[in-house]
Amino acid sequence: MKLITLLTDFGLQDGYPAIMKGVIWGIAPEVQIADLTHSIPAQDILAGALALGRAAPYFPPGTIHVAVVDPGVGTQRRAMAARIGECFFVGPDNGLCTVLLDQAAGAIQAVQLDRPRFWLPEVSHSFHGRDIFAPVAAHLATGVALDELGSPLAQGVVRLIIPQPTPLAAPGRRGWRGQVIHVDAFGNLATNFTRQHVPSTGNPCLRIAGQEICGLASTFGEGRPGDLIAMLDSAGQLSLCEVNGSAARRLTVAVGEPVELYWQD
């Protein structure tokens, strides 16, 4: 059973993701299709790349991820398909697969989608998800080899720069300066600090929006409702959470908000 996932910034209201499913099932009637999310903020390629990176590791080997956050649709930006470690990516060559590439264990092979026989007969200028990416993913699912779908991608794949923490230097303190990179539906604030940034001893503190939270919790249950806590979340990122509440609303912060992680030297 082949598995295809869809991630877009289309929203669910207009039926665009369903149209992609119709195209896929017309070519590959047996595949299972999972919607990763269609709520990526419009044109936010970085948010799409991060969401794909959070989800992909939990799908079985061979899963084909179709991702369409595509402000350059209809322009000279290339369309691509790639084997990235154990999974496949189909979408625009605009950085959407950056986190997949960073996580990949195993070979990477990428092609430029330049063979219209694997597309819909008519290609619009604004909906390549339907006209190119969905049919290509379906053909891949039916067993067409990757290098049949297009020519090798010259000059490599476009990559985004994922914001990384930088060392914090202050008298008597060590730590990192980072930022919020994702706010989930609960209002939990995921930072770009991971386990590797957290000291194994000491009492690390986080500073965000003028608030200081010291100590790491390991579960929500260690706080009382309304407490702000810091914990490593289920994706391995250090997160700020309000127990049974929304840290995002409490602190009125969004993606990009600076965060400091520090401890006594």
Contact footprint for a second copy (CB under 8 A): 1, 3, 5, 7, 10-16, 18-19, 21-23, 25-26, 29-30, 32-39, 42-43, 51, 54-55, 58-60, 63, 71-76, 124-127, 130-131, 182, 184-186, 218-221, 231, 233-234, 244
Q: Is 35 exposed, middle or buried (0-12, 13-18, 19+ CB in 10 A)?
A: middle
Place of tokens 């260690």: 222
Residue among 126 and 203 whose Cβ is closer to a second copy = 126
Residue among 72 and 85 whose Cβ is closer to a second copy = 72
CB of 148 to a second copy, least distance (A): 23
CB of 26 to a second copy, least distance (A): 4
Cα–Cα distance between 192 and 228 in angstroms, integer?
Answer: 18
Give the side-chain half-sphere CA count within 13 A for 24: 27
CB of 228 to a second copy, least distance (A): 15
* DSSP strand pairing (237-242 vs 228-232): antiparallel
- Containing H/E element for 53? helix 45-55
Residue among 53 and 165 whose Cβ is closer to a second copy = 53
Phi, psi of 45 (to 5 degrees): -60, -40
Residue among 156 and 236 whose Cβ is closer to a second copy = 236
Residue among 112 and 246 whose Cβ is closer to a second copy = 246
CB of 265 to a second copy, least distance (A): 29
Instruction: Name, in order, each residue with C-beta under 8 angstroms of 230's C-beta and a sequence gap of 6 or more.
Output: 206, 213, 215, 216, 217, 238, 239, 240, 241
| Cα–Cα distance list, 32 to 6, 71, 138, 168 (Å) | 11, 28, 11, 47
Q: Which amino acid is at 48?
A: G
Q: What is the DSSP string of 185-234?
A: TT--EEEEEEGGGS-SSS--EEEETTEEEES--SSGGGS-TT-EEEEE-T
Residue among 6 and 262 whose Cβ is closer to a second copy = 6
CB of 19 to a second copy, least distance (A): 5
* DSSP strand pairing (3-8 vs 64-68): parallel
Cα–Cα distance between 195 and 207 in angstroms, integer?
Answer: 17
Residue among 21 and 159 whose Cβ is closer to a second copy = 21
CB of 50 to a second copy, least distance (A): 10
CB of 58 to a second copy, least distance (A): 4
